[in-house]
Amino acid sequence: MRAFVKYVGLPAVLGTVLTSGAGAQSVADRLDQLTLPEGFEISIYAEVPGAREMAIAGEMGVVFVGTRSSELYAVIDDDRDGTVDRVLTMRDDLNAPTGLAYDDGTLYVSEQHRLTRYDVSQVGADGAVYEPEVLYDKLPDRSHHGTRATELGPDGKIYIAIGVPCNICMPDGIEDAIIRLDRDGSNAKIFASGIRNSVGMAFHPKTGELYFNDNGVDNMGDDSPPGEFNHAPTAGLFFGFPYYGGGHDRHREWADREPPMPVTFPAVEYQAHVAALGLAFVGGDQFPDDYINDAIVAQHGSWNRSTPIGYRLVRVRFDDQGRALDRVMFAEGWLREDGEVWGRPTDVEQLPDGSLVVADDYAGVLYRITYTGN
Cα separation, 214 vs 233, whole angstroms? 16
pLDDT of residue 192 exceeding 60, the answer is: yes
Predicted confidence at residue 20, as pLDDT, reads: 32
Residue 8, SS3 per DSSP: coil
Per-residue pLDDT band for 25 (boundaries 50, 70, 90) equals: confident
**pLDDT class for 115, splitting at 50, 70, 90?**
very high
Look at the alpha carbons of 152, 154, 157, 163 in this order and tell me if their dihedral is positive or negative: negative
Quote the CA–CA distance of 224 and 305 in Å, as a whole number: 10
Average the pLDDT over 18-41 and give the result: 81
In order of start, what are the domains of the chain with their CATH numbers?
A: 4-371 (2.120.10.30)
pLDDT of 184 strictly over 50:
yes
* % of the chain beyond a pLDDT of 90: 91
- H helices of the chain, in order, are 21-28
Contact 329, 297 (CB under 8 A): no
pLDDT of residue 24: 79
- Region 50-76: mean pLDDT is 98
**Distance between CA atoms of 85 and 164, rounded to whole angstroms?**
39
Q: Determine the residue type at 324.
A: A
**Model confidence pLDDT, tens digit, residues 348-358:** 999 999 999 99
At 304, the pLDDT band (50, 70, 90 cuts) reads confident
Cα separations (Å) of 15 from 45, 86, 98?
19, 11, 21
pLDDT value of position 23:
64
Regarding pTM above 0.75, the answer is yes
Looking at the predicted structure, is the pLDDT value of residue 12 above 80? no
Query: How many separate helices (H) and strands (E) can be counted in the chain?
Result: 1, 27
Query: Looking at the predicted structure, is the pLDDT value of residue 11 above 50?
Result: no
Mean pLDDT of the region 32-61: 97
19 pLDDT band, cuts 50/70/90, is very low
The 10 Å CB-count burial string (b at 16+, else e) for 308-335 is bbbbbbbbbbbeeebebeebeebbbbbb
Neighbouring C-beta atoms of residue 371, cutoff 10 Å: 19
